[in-house]
Structure 1
Amino acid sequence: MPNTGANAHPGRYRWLGLLGSLALAAGGLTSGALPAAATGPALRASGGAGTVLVFAGLTVLTAAWLLLGTTGRRAGGQLRPTTRWLTATLAWWAAPLLLLPPLFSRDAYSYLAQGAMQASGFDVYADGPAVLGGPVAQQVPQVWQHAPAPYGPAFLLLARAAAPLADHPYAGTLLLRLTAVAAVAALAALLPALARRFGTDPAAALHLGALNPLVLLHLVAGAHNDAVPLALMLAGLLAATHRRPLAAATLITLAALAKAPAALALPAAWWLAATAPEADGPGRRRGRFGGRWRPLRSAAATVLAAAVTTVAVTAASGTGYGWVSALTSPATKGSWSPTSSLGRLLADLAGVAPEGPVAVARLLGLAAAAVTVCLLAARVVRGTGEPATALALAFAALVALGPALRPWYALWCAVPAAFAVRTANARRTVELACAALAFTVMPDGFAPDSAELVLAAEGLAAGAAITLLTERQVTFQERQPAC
């Protein structure tokens, strides 16, 4: 029998994950989202052996992550992984992905184009990258050429900082990746801290929220801009648990001004700040505005900080408030989601054009998500639900029922779930969902054809064989590597 689970030394899974990350990086050099100079106008990568390597490495990396999650109990005289050890493992797995072209999406090129548009005086909330023309716009897929930026002014300030490198796509995307990596490092520090505040396992939170393959694939390798707002949101929640509503609301509003879904955390932060245990001892008098006035005081501080931050950041960006109307840009006519698929199915059954049914299905999905959020909030207010758990479920509803679903969107649920989940079964469910989503996109970010699906299946089979062989014939030294 393979030496898996609690009886296996976690060090072997660190090495196994590193092997997967190296294979993933090697394959991405030819099959990733390469600059247009290497792909031509179609922006499609050559695939071939690179695609096989990517999916083999992805399989090995994901298996190592799942197996590492089974070593959570003391067994055979070996200790479970500590947060320090897991942080070092995250660095090992992320290192091979740092210098690659973007993987699994070309969104990083869109970020560069939007920064260049601002620097050139264009309105990013009215025009798409096509107005730029030239090599910068050539990097952006056709579906986004005329789409306004769907991001808030806080992120566009970061994008504008990268504008001088827009004509050098490799250097520009590398700068964006370094920003994302810094945010992932912040996640690795914040997750254990939040877990301690909520009474959950810090090491388990770090494993689920930071070593997650979706983090490595899409925040590190893909350089997606979800990394910064996720880190800001967690920092805001941590501030709220310390009864600092002004700081919490400011940080979460900054996150929402980068990507709008982060705004869901504002009510959670208010409730946490209002209900957190008193910091002063029993022998000390509470402040004049303590006790029963704390909820009102926290609410006022939250609203004030959110309003001031929104006005200040919007003014600093110089973009105006066009970002409010541009928030629907991620959902195109062809965007996939469960609700969009339902609308298209109903249109096929009725023999009508899909636009109407899809629009109705998307609206109903958003309405169902809103109802779910309200029900979760009511449970928290009644004392039958926990704020962190409710926040994770609220994000899950928004992701599942929203008009567009992409694998990295699941991190908005998985990251808060990392420090909110208390049962092993619930944690395993989140892990398996993330593992499945890791295999849903191709290395170049485009939909696969039949030949690419065959290559992906070959890579998946090769990765599974490597994992099984490694588990049966362990060749790594059975001792924990030094951090």
Structure 2
Amino acid sequence: MATTTDPVPNPGTDADRPAAEAALADVREPARFPYRTIAMGVVGSVLVLLASFGAAGVLVRDPVLGAGPLSWIRYGHGKALATVLLYAGFGLVVWAWVRLGRYALAGRIGARPVVVAALCWMVPLLVAPPLFTRDVFSYLGQGAQLLHGLDPYAYGPAALDTLPDVVQNVHPLWQTTPAPYGPLFLLVAKGIVSFTGNNMILGVIVTRLVLLVGLGAMLWALPRLVKHLGGRLPVTMWLAVASPMMVIHLVGGPHNDLMMLGLLTLGVLAALERRHLLAVVLVTVGMLIKPTAAIALPFLVWVWANHMPAEESLFRRFVKAVVPSLAVFGGVFVVGTWLSLGSFNLGWVTGLQAPQIIANWLNFPTGIGEIFYTLVNVVVDVQASPFVTVARGIAWVALAAFLVRQWWLSRHGGTEAIFRMALSLLAVAILAPPTLPWYLTWGFVIASAFPWKRLHLAAMVGVSMFLVLVYYPTGEQSLYDWWFIAIVIAASLYGAASLLRPDPLGLIAAWRREPRRPAEPSVTGEPTSPATR
């Protein structure tokens, strides 16, 4: 996952100490573009694009390759070859990302090269079929329902008898389930389908372009958030914008979480800058895209309360903050719902139960339930569902207690409240069923603006790789393919170690049969060594 060409500080114990990190942050080498690293990621992204036409979430009836001379890429050995090529491209993207992270940690580059790299890696994927998911087809199906007068909160896309290409590409699991998304996002999806009609390829591309509004909001807000939360901007951009979770999942997917996260980061920034009513408006609008954003609102109330004069009691300040917050939230919620659906339809609240039909061990309580079921089933023939249901019920109680505790510990406002808000978003993603890989971006994006230790960033590399690879490129989960998961875990651990030390197992050095020695800086800003000349 890395080469011997990257000079980085010793990642031992000293590198994780605050003093050493402060010294690392003070490195002031000229910021230069790592052209070769960016190019490596672009090559990987192009490979992913080319392979995606056979290995990703392709259409049931593909008007481009379906009957042409390249249709073999979608079947049999052709699809297997495309899958291998896609994983190779993904490996190059991750390799480039890890190299970029080492440069950012060493102070070799600023935030601009990181953003340029991320955008360069995203561009080829804008025209790719959906990657590691088929959710975008559900978005278009639900938008088509709203466009043609069907309530997406009462019926699944299968009830739609027009736009057959839109309906037939929705995953079978979601054909008859109501929409779990906010009404404002359904309005967005309706607008997209009104433009693209039955053209699914155009629908996927336009959806990606619309969701990039969320990325733009993040790119504007994160540098300002870093000033409040104390992080290092190049590292923040590397973690939040250039990671595989963003490039592959949120953009390559695509997922509407990207739009919600854009509004959430803007709302958190507004709260820290004492524009509290605007903060409540932005986060409420984010909730109308994806309900998860609502978790942030109680924490922003504490931020507001602690911006008031300290002469008053905390209770009085809280009341003065919560009353207008509730009024603004209620107004935006009612108006946004009415404008989106033409009525005050709260069906989307019950629609939140639909994703809970997904049951796999990526969701922690579901995994615990499955473990107990497996142990008991050795002795007695039983069904798995009671074990999973009980484990999920316990997890709901634990999650509620955790959220209340984090909220109370945030009562002094400031960065502490934002940090505990990020923890709460992560807890919801992990404990509330289901857990889908891109859900962890809810907390990661906000947390990226805080200071990070190198060891924790290395763990994030492994987690990011794992969360992409636990689903196949087609969008089906791979969690019970144990040999494949073992390979995924090994690759993720190697990727994590590569952030701390180039070529941690000496694989590349052994392959080239050359001694490992310190790299030398080049005039282009990219490190070089005899192994790469």
TM-score (norm 1): 0.86
Partner SS for 2:103: coil
Q: Distance in 1 between matches of 2:83 and 2:452?
A: 37
1:124 and 2:155 correspond: no
The aligned residue for residue 362 of structure 1 is 392
Closer, same or farther in 2 for the Cα pair 1:366/1:288, shift >3 Å?
A: closer
Closer, same or farther in 2 for the Cα pair 1:404/1:299, shift >3 Å?
A: same
How do 1:26-425 and structure 2 match up within 5 A? 26-38=50-62, 46=75, 47-74=79-106, 80-133=108-161, 134-164=164-194, 165-276=196-307, 294-318=317-341, 320-332=345-357, 334-336=359-361, 337-348=363-374, 349=376, 351-381=381-411, 386-425=416-455
Letter in 2 for 1:4: D
- Structure 2 stretches lacking a partner, 5+ long: 10-31, 67-72, 496-502, 527-533
Cα deviation, residue 300, structure 1: 2.1
Closer, same or farther in 2 for the Cα pair 1:477/1:108, shift >3 Å?
A: farther
Letter in 1 for 2:93: L
Closer, same or farther in 2 for the Cα pair 1:431/1:379, shift >3 Å?
A: farther
Cα deviation, residue 49, structure 1: 1.4
The aligned residue for residue 27 of structure 2 is none
Q: Distance in 2 between matches of 1:65 and 1:307?
A: 42
Cα deviation, residue 311, structure 1: 0.3
Q: Distance in 2 between matches of 1:347 and 1:194?
A: 45
What is the aligned-residue identity percentage? Answer: 28
Letter in 1 for 2:42: L
Letter in 2 for 1:15: A
Cα deviation, residue 92, structure 1: 1.1
Letter in 1 for 2:144: A
TM-score (norm 2): 0.78
The aligned residue for residue 18 of structure 2 is none
Asked if 2 retains the 8 angstrom alpha-carbon contact of 1:242 and 1:273, the reply is no
Q: Distance in 2 between matches of 1:49 and 1:237?
A: 45
Stretch moving more, 106-115 or 388-397:
388-397
Q: Distance in 1 between matches of 2:357 and 2:462?
A: 28
Q: Distance in 2 between matches of 1:439 and 1:55?
A: 9
Q: Distance in 1 between matches of 2:421 and 2:244?
A: 22
1:103-131 CA distance string (max 9 Å, x none): 11111011011011011111111110110
Letter in 2 for 1:34: V
1:21-71 CA distance string (max 9 Å, x none): 12211211221111110399xxx9533211111111111211221232122
Asked if 2 retains the 8 angstrom alpha-carbon contact of 1:18 and 1:93, the reply is yes
Asked if 2 retains the 8 angstrom alpha-carbon contact of 1:184 and 1:219, the reply is no
Q: Distance in 1 between matches of 2:105 and 2:213?
A: 31
Cα deviation, residue 87, structure 1: 1.5
Closer, same or farther in 2 for the Cα pair 1:310/1:97, shift >3 Å?
A: same
Partner SS for 2:354: coil
1:285-307 CA distance string (max 9 Å, x none): x8999999654332222211111
Q: Distance in 2 between matches of 1:132 and 1:96?
A: 32
